[in-house]
């Protein structure tokens, strides 16, 4: 059956195939997990929500990975197959690709940031950190003091670089 909705939770729960449209055109279609973790472009990444979208320029592309140079510095991550060097692109960081505090020690990329918000949600906290003017959101196993500096880790294997 076909179910048309703007309710993303319902769409993800009910669907084997999701079609994302913009202005009457299909922008991306695929399994819910692929749409979520590998958005085709900035519109899909933003529409699905829950992600930090960092703009930058692709500096290298090789073997399914690209390096994006942007406000967080150079970050290498999996990428869309048709990306080329010297083009504008985005790095999509979902909540599960950002780790905070002691948990950041195992991350491939680490940055320092200032905690702006910490919302305890029973067993874990949703934390927003300002890293050089970019707001990153991630989960922490413990509350983190607002206003304090902390380490933010980017799990690059869960990140995604695609067209802006």
Quote the pLDDT of residue 144: 86
Average pLDDT over residues 17-26: 94
Please give the structure tokens belonging to residue 49.
């929500």
Each residue's pLDDT tens digit, 132-159 = 999 999 988 888 899 999 999 999 999 9
Question: Tokens 């695609």 label which residue?
Answer: 162
- Give the mean pLDDT of the chain: 93
Residues 87, 161 contacting (CB under 8 angstroms): no
Asked if residue 66 has pLDDT above 90, the reply is yes
Asked if residue 8 has pLDDT above 90, the reply is no
CA gap 101, 54 in Å, rounded = 21
* CA distances for 113 relative to 29, 46, 69, 97, 137, angstroms: 36, 23, 18, 16, 11
Each residue's pLDDT tens digit, 40-61 = 999 999 998 779 999 999 999 9
Quote the pLDDT of residue 103: 85
Quote the pLDDT of residue 3: 85
Task: Enter the pTM of the model.
Answer: 0.90
What band does 164 get if pLDDT is binned at 50, 70 and 90?
confident
Containing 43, the helix (H) or strand (E) segment is: helix 42-48
Average pLDDT over residues 74-85: 96
């Amino acid at each position: 059956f076909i179910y048309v909705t703007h309710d993303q939770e319902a769409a993800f729960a009910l669907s084997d195939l999701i079609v994302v449209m913009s202005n009457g055109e299909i922008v991306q279609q695929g399994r819910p997990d692929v749409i979520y973790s590998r958005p085709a472009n900035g519109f899909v990444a933003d529409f699905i929500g829950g992600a930090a979208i960092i703009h930058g320029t692709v500096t290298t592309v090789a073997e399914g990975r690209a390096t994006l140079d942007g406000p967080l510095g150079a970050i290498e991550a999996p990428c869309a197959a048709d990306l080329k060097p010297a083009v504008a692109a985005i790095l999509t960081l979902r909540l599960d690709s950002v780790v905070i505090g002691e948990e950041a020690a195992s991350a491939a990329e680490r940055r320092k940031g200032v905690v702006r918000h910490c919302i305890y949600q029973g067993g874990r906290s949703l934390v927003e950190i300002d890293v050089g003017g970019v707001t990153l959101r991630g989960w922490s196993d413990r509350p983190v003091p607002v206003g304090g500096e902390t380490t933010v880790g980017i799990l690059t294997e869960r990140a995604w670089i695609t067209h802006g």
